[in-house]
Amino acid sequence: MVDEKVLDAVPEKLRKTVKKHLAEEAEAAALFDIDEFIIGAEKVREVYVREINRRVQYKKLTVAEGRELFKIADKDERSAQHLFLLLHKANPNITREKIDKLNDDEAAAILSAILREHIFLRTPTA
């Protein structure tokens, strides 16, 4: 149950201890309850964006929203829509038109900060 790739990064002397700790951690983990995660998806989250000196609220995307987002071929359009979805879910006053009026640097800084916080939200790159 221990990911061997994780252990490859651990010095040889510590591998046995780390492997034991990871196995104990996995054994103690609760079973996956999808309803718990669905409720958690509605949580408003916040990230500090240093480049604009602001805290930005957002909500994570669902799998369905991600699928729709990935259908957008143009990278710039996809990024703008991604930012819109993340922010609009937390604040319905944020419209796509307002996102389109943002300075490119500011929009990129906000989206980057959110993606750094939740790396799995990244859109495909091509």
Mean pLDDT throughout 72-80? 96
Looking at residue 126, its pLDDT comes to 42
pLDDT per residue as tens digits for the range 16-25: 887 788 888 8
Place of tokens 């143009």: 74
Q: Output the average pLDDT for the chain.
A: 86
Q: What does the domain layout of the chain look like in residue ranges?
A: 1-30, 34-121
| Number of helices (H), then strands (E), in the chain | 7, 2
Higher pLDDT, 108 or 14: 108
pLDDT digits (tens, 9 = 90+) for 87-106: 999 999 999 999 999 999 99
DSSP string, 75-119: HHHHHHHHHHHHHHHH-TT--HHHHHHS-HHHHHHHHHHHHHHSG
State the Cα–Cα distance between residues 86 and 45, nearest whole angstrom.
10
What average pLDDT does this structure show over 94-119?
Answer: 94
Separation in Å, CA 60 to CA 29, 41, 77: 23, 6, 19
